[in-house]
Structures are given as C-alpha cells and as structure tokens.
Structure 1
Amino acid sequence: MSLFDPLLKPVPSPYFKEEHHTYRAQLRRWVDEHVAPFVDEWDEAGTFPRELYKKASEIGLLRMGFPEEYGGIEGTDIFHSIVATEELARAGAGGLIAGLMTHGIGAPPIAALGSDELKARVLPGIMAGEKISALGITEPSGGSDVANLQTTARREGDRYIVNGSKIFITSGMRCDYLTTAVRTGGKGFGGISLLLIEMDRAGITRTPLKKMGWWMSDTAAIYFDNVEVPAENLVGPENAGFLGIVRNFNGERIGLAAGANAFARVALEEAIAWARQRTTFGKRLADHQVIRHKIVDMAMRIEATKCMLENLAWRVDQGDAPIAEICMLKNQATLTMEFCAREAMQILGGAGYMRGTKTERIYREVRVNAIGGGSEEIMRDLAARQLGL
C-alpha cells in the first residue's frame, strides 16, 4: 500500500532525507524480528522482556539525541524520532512504545539540566539499556495541575528527605531511576524542583495498577516515606524544576501525535486488508460503497494529520516553539486515532472485537493517548491562551 508506506512512495516527503529512509528500513527489519511476533504474548503477560531494552539500544532507539560522551547518538533530529515511533507502531501495541521509550521523558531533563557528575553517573546505563528511566510528575491530587503538586523534598544538610506519592507512572514498577517533581519551596511553579531518585532507596514502595490498555507497559503508584536522596541528585537549580518539565512538553506531545496517527494508519491498513478478503452478500466488503467511503474518510484524516505533524516537526527542528499548533496537533492526532479505531472496528465487525487483532488493542488504547501528555481539554485551553483569548 504505497499510499501509506513511506518506503514505497514514489515521491517521498521532503522532510525525510536518505538517512531517515535508511534508518526506517533498518528499524522495520528489527521490529519484524524482535517485536511483532511477540506483542500478543507480551500484552497478555502484562510485560515484555527486560533484555529488549539492550536490543533497542543496539539499534539506536534509546540513544538518539543524547550526548555521545554518555553513550548517545548525536546528529539525529526530530524526524528520526518520528521514524522510530511510526515503525514501532507497526506492531500495533502502544504499550510497547510507552514502556520501552520512557527514557524519552525521564532522561532529557538530566541531559539538559543535570550536573556533569549526575550525567556521567546515570546516562550511560540508560543509553545502554541496562537501566530504565521514568518520569514522576502526576499525583493522586492532580495531573495537569503541576503547580499544586504535593510531594515534598526537605533539605537536610547534604540530602533531601522526600515524602509524598506519585500515580499513573509509566514504567513505575520496573524503572531504576525516577526523575521526580518535588516541592522544595513555596506554593506554585516557583517552588518546584526536579530530583533524580534511585528506586532501590529505603522508604519507597510501589503498587502496580491495572489499565484499560497499554497492558505490556507497567504503570504504578509510588509512595515515598522519608526517602533520603543525595543533594547531588538535584536536576538543575533548586526551585527551578518547572523549566525542566516544560522543556519536555513539546517533544512529548509531538511524539504522542506521531504515535496516535501511526496507530490510526495501522487500524486503517488492517481494515483495508479485511475489506479486500471478506465476502458479504456475494461480493467483497471493499466493493460496498459504504465501506469504501469509511476507508477514504479514515485516509483523509490520517493524511491531513501527517501533513500537520511533519510541518510542525520541521518548525521545531528549526528552533521555533509553536505551542498552540502543537496542542492542536495532539488533539487532531488523537481524534484521528479515535475515529479510525472506531471505523476499523466497524469494518472488521466481530473479528475486530476479538483479541489478536491490532484494531482491538488500538481501540482500547485511544483514551490514554487523548489524556496523557495533556488532556484534550487542557490542550484546547492552552492553545486558546496562546492565541490571545
């Protein structure tokens, strides 16, 4: 299906260069060998093998965009990340991307704001797939309302004493490091710091959470009871942690948008394959006008979202920060995913409701994409404020 496969398009997107196509082909072979045959088994088991992180490091997935001196690969751009997301999505399992790539939100604050000592101590293990990094912001008292987080870190000499809790933390059960938002000062954004917490410290307990989707990606509630953390684990200046959180937002939202649109495409491709082979009332499903129109409606939304995604990714790569447009992109992409998952389910009928189809899994994973990284409502309101309303 050349319309939907970047490797087969006669005129490729101008945003993707030869190096991106080469990496896409390499990564596709890796996914076909190491991921796609096992996703159903992993999803039912609620986990995937830890050694997959090391394999992901070898193919470059964990190292893109991080400094070479700590094991990273410099010289990659945002389009390499989009390629990685799109190719991982071909397996039809959002939990794989969420669990395997949590370093993408946990490690950037360390690389950007951490001391040289902290970076040298933490980043090489993450880059090699030997250690797992996650991000801890959301709390039982609120998610998007970061300014009111309640977890405290009280300075005592050369250490911080951390008390509080985090919830809905992706990779919270398996992570070795948690880049944690804590309150070190007064109320509001100005009292927030980022602290790197090693998860084997005394006083930490973790509880796994069962979810609607993303089964193979563990999610946890994490509790801190007088946890002692060295002061040198502070990420950036004290009481300036909100900067580190904000730095993540644009990249995270573009990544979520790329994933949502890629999953929409996977659902569409499965629906087309089914419509071509399934016979009803003496002819293929694909020969019924109502089905043909559903497929075209799905393709329209996917292509429109793809154009928006690539344009905004290019602008970000040029140093722009189009916050309003990125918020709108995230909503556009998740609404596209939602529409395509629903329509693909209708086309597959009963087969689409059965475990083992990609559409069934994607359908369950729609909502987490619409909520995570900023809910639809928050995205709309932020975009409105950026537009001067």
Structure 2
Amino acid sequence: MNGAHTSPVHRTLTLSVLACLVCVAWSPVALADTAWKEDGWLTTTLAQDRLDLGDEFGCHSIPGLSWQADPGAVALECRTYIEERVRASSWDSRPISTYTPDGLTMAQHTTVAGQGFVVHGDQTGLSTTAWHNATDEPIDKWDWYNLGRRGGSLEQIIGSVEEVQTAVEQGGLVNLYWIGRVNDATIRHDRDITAYLSQVEDVWFTTWGEAWSYWTVNKCHEFSHSVRTEANQSILTFESLVTQECTSMNPEAWNVPVTWTLDFNGTDVVSVQGESGALANITGVRKSTEGYVQHPGEYLHLSVLNGHAVEITYNGTADYDVIGRTSFFNNHSTAVTIAAHETYDLFKWSKRFVDDDHLVFTWLVEPREGLGDSLWLQYVAVGVALSTIVGMLVVLKREGLGPLAKREDRTPQASSKPTEEP
C-alpha cells in the first residue's frame, strides 16, 4: 500500500516545483525587470550637468507595468529606478513629480501620492485642478494631482511663441510640453520660443517639484526675527524655521529658497550676511538661489532656505515689518516649467538645449522598451528548468525511484520448491 501512494505524491510535488519555477520566471516583477533597459545617461556627468542647471528628474512610466492596473506598483518601481541612478534635484534626492494618465480615480492618485509622488501631471482629468489657467492657484494638496498644461508645446510647428507669450503675460504657472522623439522620429524644438524665453525678464524658471515645495510654505511656515543696534545702524536677524509641525504636514517637500518681503520704511539695506558669508544681490535672477533684492526706498525681497539665519544691516533705527512670502521666487509674477515627457534617452532629449542654459526642465524619465530583445530569456529559463527536472527524474527512474519508476509488485512470490514433510 505504501508504494501505491508514493507515486501520486511524487507527481504532485514535481508539478508543484514546475509551477513555482514557471511562476517566478513569468511573474509581473520578473516581466517588468526584463521588459526594459535603463537609460545609462542618468548615471553620467550629463545628468549632473542638468541638475546643476536647476533641472528635476521625475517619473513617467515603467514598461511592463500599467498605471491603470496597479498605479502603486508603477510609482514604487519608478521611484526605485530614479533613486538608484540620479538625484531628483539639486535640492533633494527624493523624486516627487510624476506623469499620470487621464482616467485614474482620486483613490488611485492617492495611492501614487503614498509612494512620495505629490505632483501629478498633466491634464489628468480630475475635477480638482492646479494652474489650468492664470487664476487657478492650488488651494489643497490634492489640487496638484491634476497639474495643467499651459503655453502649449516646445515642438516646432505644434508650438507657438504667441501662445507662450500670452500665457506668460497672464501670469501664474506656465507648464510647457516637450518630447524628444516619437518612435524613431526626432522632434525639433521651436527656436523662436526659446529665444523669447531667454529675453523675458519677470519669470521664474522652475520645475514641478520645486514649484510645489515653494507652495507648501504658504500652508505652513514659522520664522523668527530680532533686532539689535550697533552705533547708528540696526542689525536684524531673520530665520525661516524648520519645524516639526510643517515637516509632518508635507514631509515630501524639498527645502528650496523662499522669498520673503520685509519693509524697512524706506530705509536702504547696507548688507545681508548668511552663515557662510555675504548673500548676493540677485536682481533679475530667474532660477532659485539664495540672495536678496532691494530697489532704493522699496521693500527688501530676501530669498533663503529654511534653517538658514541671516543678518540684515540697515542704517538708522527705523521699525521694520515682515510682510510675508511672495507667490513666486524673487517676487516674479510668472513661473515657467517645461515637462519633458517619456524621457528614455536623456542625451537625445536634452542635446538641443545645450545653448539654452536659461531653461529648466522636469525630465519625466522611463526605461526604454526592452521586451522584444529579452523575451527569449524567459523561454531559456523555463527550458533549462524543465530540462533539469526531467534529467533528475530520469536518473531516479534508473534507480527505481521517483514518479517515473515502474511500481513493483511487492507481494512475496510463492516458492516453487516443494515443502518437505516433517
């Protein structure tokens, strides 16, 4: 009876082992890993050069995974893909911006945000919106789950300098579209648009994550200030504080320079000293940095990181007032972002803008498709597994063991030798 029950058990175990091997080889994670090839440019000095220019690296998608089927898996895999290769920004290593397709539910967007991506764009189809027009200023955090596209595209023929100019003059956040290639076709950019943007003055060139991080200060901030008098001058110590309360409200926020407005009642500022020396006069600067601007007799606009105390020296002993923060960095009235979609080759996407160092890009990266080149590896893996198991079973069969061995009748055979009489 024992031999009769051994064979089915062995067969069941064999099939179970085969099923496990096939499942591992064809699981979604394994398929995703073999469905793409990384963009090697993300680990080179080219990526660092883009970071030095103020760019950001965010997420677009992962081949082999679906935003609609499992947005959390896409966000997690994409975040890992970025973090293992490049910093998201010069301000922080954590990626917080991502493309999401039209049609996801608010619950799915919340799942994506749970993976650290708090800016979703663009034109995601939600009823809540951020910067779909010049007055569509976001109020709540989830408004950023539907970032608008304003100003059109940088693509030649499709883009229009008139459309960009109109959006810039209206104010608010202008979000342009760019893609470097479509299939094998190289896309040319509109040089008139980049030329116009190089000349316009009242513009903050920023990225999705940088703009969102700046916006969060409006939701929660705290600062300290005190003044002392030395001779005929006053020295104001000012610091935008890093607090547990604000950090817990928006833990994903990067620490970016925020511009504060201070009123010295017409008194001119003599100098602004930071922890590592004098802050620069950043009049006309259009990219985020620390510094200050004051025109004679007007407000002081001070741009500093949270946690960086500064000393502001001004003549006399006039009263002062901290009025608050400006809507955009350096008191600009318009912010401009350029979202580079489907960036699977950073070199090809960015090479046209080598001479346009005034522009700032949000590179929404993704690995390049690789399934067609590596699908055969799946079949090889399964073939090797099957061959190994079959070979083992054949060896066991020769020894009279295993599920392929013939069952022997273990009932004792009757002896042919006659029984002797006692």
- The reply to whether TM is greater than 0.5 is no
Q: Specify the TM-score bucket, using the shorter chain as the normaliser.
A: under 0.3
TM-score normalised by the chain length of structure 2: 0.26
Larger radius of gyration between Structure 1 and Structure 2: 2
Higher relative helix content: 1
TM-score normalised by the chain length of structure 1: 0.28
Query: Which fold has the larger relative contact order, with Cα–Cα distance below 8 Å and residues 6 or more apart in sequence?
Result: 2
Higher relative strand content: 2
